[in-house]
């Protein structure tokens, strides 16, 4: 608060150009410092909330990737096991899992080719079988996973992997 006075009443005054005196308040910077402190605290809270939200989102994507990988592994296994005749074949494309015309009745092992939750595309890395078919899939994401342990038995090959593209969902026939 500024007040114009004719003569100094105490030591917290200073002269201005027209000969008047201006009194200064002792609390001029306190409100400013309090506002700066409040802004810093709010910024830190928002940053930590953003980090928690980002981590929760990535964990959800990991769960989705595991679900989709299991669906692909199961569909490839069904396609392989239901091969007509004695020679078993893997699917040549992922679209073969949507509609299998190798038998009299059309078989559908998947309703759609899933979107990769990590890359948000329907492009997957394909693991080739010896017969030229597809025996597995993996994400094309090179992001570091949060989950590196405590996988179910069928996913033990994922333990310790350093990126999502190392998470391979492969069907291996039981002999």
CB of 137 closer than 8 Å to CB of 94: yes
pLDDT at 3: 57
For the chain, domain boundaries: 58-170
Integer angstrom CA distances of residue 32 from 2, 26, 38, 103: 16, 13, 10, 78
pLDDT at 19: 62
Tell me how far apart the alpha carbons of residues 96 and 103 are, in angstroms, rounded to a whole number.
13
Q: Phi, psi at residue 164, to the nearest 5°?
A: -65, -30
pLDDT at 12: 59
pLDDT at 111: 94
For residue 156, the SS3 value is: helix
pLDDT at 169: 96
| Ranges of residues in the chain whose predicted pLDDT is under 70 | 1-28
CB of 62 closer than 8 Å to CB of 162: no
pLDDT at 174: 83
pLDDT at 136: 96
Q: What is the DSSP string of 92-114?
A: SSGGGGT-B-SSSS-B-S-SSPP
Query: CA 84 from chain center: how many Å?
Result: 41
> Residue 14: which H helix or E strand, with range?
strand 13-15
Alpha helices in the chain (DSSP H): 30-81
């Amino acid at each position: 608060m500024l007040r114009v006075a004719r003569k100094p009443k105490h030591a917290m005054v200073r002269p201005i150009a027209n000969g008047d005196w201006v009194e200064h308040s002792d609390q001029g910077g306190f409100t400013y410092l309090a506002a700066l402190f409040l802004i810093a605290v709010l910024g830190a809270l928002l940053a930590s909330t953003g980090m928690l939200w980002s981590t929760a989102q990535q964990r959800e994507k990991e769960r989705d990737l595991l679900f989709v990988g299991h669906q692909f592994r199961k569909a490839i296994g069904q396609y392989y096991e239901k091969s007509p005749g004695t020679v078993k074949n893997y699917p040549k494309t992922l679209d073969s899992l949507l509609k299998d015309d190798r038998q009299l009745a059309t078989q559908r092992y998947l309703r759609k080719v899933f979107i990769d939750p990590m890359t948000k595309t329907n492009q997957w890395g394909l693991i080739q079988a010896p017969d030229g078919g597809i025996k597995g899939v993996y994400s094309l994401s090179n992001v570091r996973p949060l989950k590196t342990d405590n996988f179910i038995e069928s996913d033990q090959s994922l333990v310790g992997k350093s990126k999502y593209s190392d998470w391979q969902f492969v069907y291996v026939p039981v002999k």
